[in-house]
Structures are given as structure tokens and as C-alpha cells.
Structure 1
Amino acid sequence: MANNLISTSTAATTFIVVLLSLLLAGKSQTFSTSLRRTAMPRGKQNLTHLHFFYHNVVGGPNATAIRVAEAPITNTSATGFGAVIMVDNLLTVGPEPNSTRVGRAQGMYASADLNNMSFMMVHNYVFDEERYNGSTLSILGRNPLNSPVREFPVIGGSGVFRFARGYAKARTYFLNATNRDAIVEYNIYVLHY
């Protein structure tokens, strides 16, 4: 009978140890936590309108838009399909390159349409103008170049533009038909806290 009690006691202890091990092992480090809406920034959202010019310099020794990849058909495709261009383009208040600088557009665009001149845009607008210094807006969208006005979604931001959402409208202000340098006028409307 004593052996049965020891066996039962040992089995119960083993069961508890195994159960605790499973419970502890099943409790992993969490990487996310649900928060109440009250954890959001206080105050109402702001709607900000930004207006600036984007300088895409493709040619010459001071190029700010460089092709970094291409597909086997890129050079024979009517749309340059598959070309990937990295950019670090100047953003200014006016269309002249020497007008007041407000930041840089950093990211890439890629020819993503076999039949029409259209780029996939992935850009971060990094602002260094005093009020927005260090803040960014992120754009991801389709840029059909033959449209007089193109619209892209603002998908996020940082700094002043945390929790940003909105849209950007782009209009070609100047295009050099020979080397494809361009100046593009942007109007961005963004909601943020």
C-alpha cells in the first residue's frame, strides 16, 4: 500500500511538473500588446497641406536618380519595364533647384507596366525644414507618367507625422525630353496627430 501511495504521489508530482512546464513553455515572449484607444496621442487630428517641388536629376555628374537594376527586356521594352531607379532627390519650396530646401525624397521607383509608362513609387519624404525637421512621410503607389496629375496614398510617417494618412498629388512642372531630368510639383494632404 505504501508503494501505491508513493507511486501515486510521484505520478501526481510528475503530472504537476509536466503541466507547469507546458504552461510555462507555452507562455512565450509577447511581441505585441493590444492597447486601448486612450493610448493614442491626445487631441484632435491635424490636416496639413504641403506644397513643394521634387527634382529628379537623371543625367550628368550630379545625378540623384540612378538605375540600380534592370530586367532582361528593360532595354527593348517600350516602357523600360523592369528598370529600378534609386533616388535621393532634392525637395524645394519653388521649382528652381536653388530655392529654399525643405528636404529630400529618398527611395525608389520602378517601371512596372508592360504597356504604359507607369512607375511603382516607394518614397520617404525626409523633411529638414525647421518645423518638420527629422519628420518623414511615406508614399507607396502607382505613377502613370502620361496622366497630367497623379495621385499616391500617404501610408505613414514619423516625427510630426506619426500615424499619418492622406494623399499626394503630383504634376510634372518640367521635363527634359533628352536626358529625362524632371521637376515635379507636389501637393500633399495629410492627417496626423
Structure 2
Amino acid sequence: MYMHNVFGPPGQRVVLIVKGAGPMNPSLPPEHYFGETYAFDESLTQNRSSSSKQVGRAEGTAMLASMRHPVYLVNMVMLLTGGEYDGSTIVVEGRHDASKKERELAVVGGTGEFRLASGYVNCTTAREEKKFTVYELNVNATIPGDDSEPEPDTGRRRRRIPRF
């Protein structure tokens, strides 16, 4: 699925909520300071076009967590809309290093159909412009379930979260 990160009008979905009090980060354009924190409420779609079918929302925060590198601490809830997963969430946290081609974030839980989810999300930049970025998010996670083989190391039964 794809997340549409819009920084400015029209359709702004990312807002600076805390101006960083720390030093300016030399790896980012001027006026980005250690500790700055953003809130976001972004579209999740089936493909990279903003006009493609919306499958949910990504709601959360991102804080500039490094004094020297473009690294953000991300806390995000992926709220799925429509179909059998309507209202279910996947909770994601982790270190988002904007200088890397691929970032990996942890799936730390969920609700509804994704209760007790665990795994990871691979995040790559699909498109980047001055006022928006489109991220491709590949969710690789499992949830407790009885319809799978027991895991060899723990004996627990888990089922994979389907692709969106």
C-alpha cells in the first residue's frame, strides 16, 4: 500500500506541532531542529496515485531524533477502511532514516482483525516532490491464529496478515 505525505497546500496532511529546541540538523534543509515534532493524518491507497482506491489512513507523529542525520522516530496507527478489515488497525513504530533507500519499522500491535500483530514494515520512497512524498509500505506481519502450522521455535500458531 502507499502513504501520501503532503507537507503543504493544497491538501496538507502534515503539521509541525513542536518546534525543535535543539541545534539545527546539518543533514536537512535550514530551519530543521533536533526535537521538532510533526503530526500527520495521511491517505493509504492501493497504488502510488493519490486518486487510487483509498484503503485507510495513517495517523501518527514523527520527531526529528538525531542531531546529525535525517532520522525520525515514527509512531503510526494504520487505520484500515472498508471491506472485512474496516476499523481494524496496525500499530507501527520505529526509526525512519530518510537518507536510506529502504527503512524498516516494527509492527508492534493492532486491533480488530489485527489484534496482537507483530512483524515489520518495509518503507521505500516511491515519489518525492517539494511538498509531498509517496511511500510504499510493505507490511510483513503475523497475528495469532489456529489455521497455521506451529512455529518451530515457540510452538505458537500464527497466521500472516494478507497483502493489501
Of the three residues 137, 144, 160, the one matched with 2:97 is 144
Indicate the residue corresponding to 2:39 in structure 1: 86
5+ residue gaps, structure 2, are: 145-164
Indicate the residue corresponding to 2:133 in structure 1: 182
Would you tell me which structure has more helix in proportion to its own residues?
Answer: 1
CA contact (8 A) 2:21 2:36 kept: no
Secondary structure of the 1:131 match is: helix
The CA deviation at 1:73 is 3.9
Count of residues in correspondence between the two structures: 139
Q: Deviations over 1:52-73 (max 9, x none)?
A: 0000000114200111111234
Indicate the residue corresponding to 1:171 in structure 2: 124
Q: How does 1:1-193 map to 2 (within 5 A)?
A: 52-73=1-22, 76-78=24-26, 79=28, 80=32, 81-176=34-129, 178-179=130-131, 181-193=132-144
Query: TM-score, normalised to structure 2's length?
Result: 0.81
CA contact (8 A) 2:62 2:73 kept: yes
Q: Deviations over 1:6-26 (max 9, x none)?
A: xxxxxxxxxxxxxxxxxxxxx
When Rg is computed on C-alpha atoms for both structures, the one with the higher figure is 1
The CA deviation at 1:192 is 0.7
The CA deviation at 1:131 is 1.9
Give the Cα–Cα distance (whole angstroms) in 1 for the partners of residues 82 and 139 of structure 2.
16
The CA deviation at 1:163 is 1.1
The CA deviation at 1:77 is 2.9
Secondary structure of the 1:63 match is: coil
Give the Cα–Cα distance (whole angstroms) in 1 for the partners of residues 88 and 8 of structure 2.
29
The CA deviation at 1:84 is 0.6
Give the Cα–Cα distance (whole angstroms) in 2 for the partners of residues 89 and 149 of structure 1.
20
Question: Which one scores higher on RCO, CA 8 angstroms, separation ≥ 6?
Answer: 1
Give the Cα–Cα distance (whole angstroms) in 1 for the partners of residues 84 and 136 of structure 2.
21
Secondary structure of the 2:84 match is: helix
Q: Deviations over 1:63-93 (max 9, x none)?
A: 001111112346x332422111100000000
Identity within the alignment, %: 27
Give the Cα–Cα distance (whole angstroms) in 1 for the partners of residues 82 and 46 of structure 2.
10
Would you tell me which structure has more strand in proportion to its own residues?
Answer: 2
Task: State the one-letter code of the partner of 2:3.
Answer: Y
